[in-house]
Amino acid sequence: GAVVSQHPSWVICKSGTSVKIECRSLDFQATTMFWYRQFPKQSLMLMATSNEGSKATYEQGVEKDKFLINHASLTLSTLTVTSAHPEDSSFYICSASPQGSAGLLSSYEQYFGPGTRLTVT
């Protein structure tokens, strides 16, 4: 149980185009989903937290107009990288939390998707 999928698993796009990455919780409802970016040999960097039906909360330094996040249902969140540039090339990982929100002290778990490798040429 608690499977999270991402699509596509890898994508190559040309500079200036937009790319949409989907994150789905397959066997549970996720009130909160997280989007991370990981550079080679570095830790995950939280980009934004999205709660179903509301606007995403972006971390400091993350451009909300460039990285559009939509969490339209309890099982789907999308990240759209708009006007992609080579510096946006990275590994993007989503995770989904089956209960609670980012602000609660109560125990919750994050289940990670397999990631999407984006290469912008």
Chain residues that interact with other proteins, rule: CB under 8 A: 34, 42-46, 59, 93, 102-103, 105, 107-115
Report the residue number, 82 or 110, with the smaller CB distance to other proteins: 110
Min dist. Cβ of residue 14 to other proteins (A): 26
| Cα angle for residues 74, 120, 85 (degrees, 5° grid) | 90
Min dist. Cβ of residue 112 to other proteins (A): 5
Min dist. Cβ of residue 76 to other proteins (A): 19
Report the residue number, 86 or 105, with the smaller CB distance to other proteins: 105
Report the residue number, 2 or 82, with the smaller CB distance to other proteins: 2
Report the residue number, 16 or 26, with the smaller CB distance to other proteins: 26
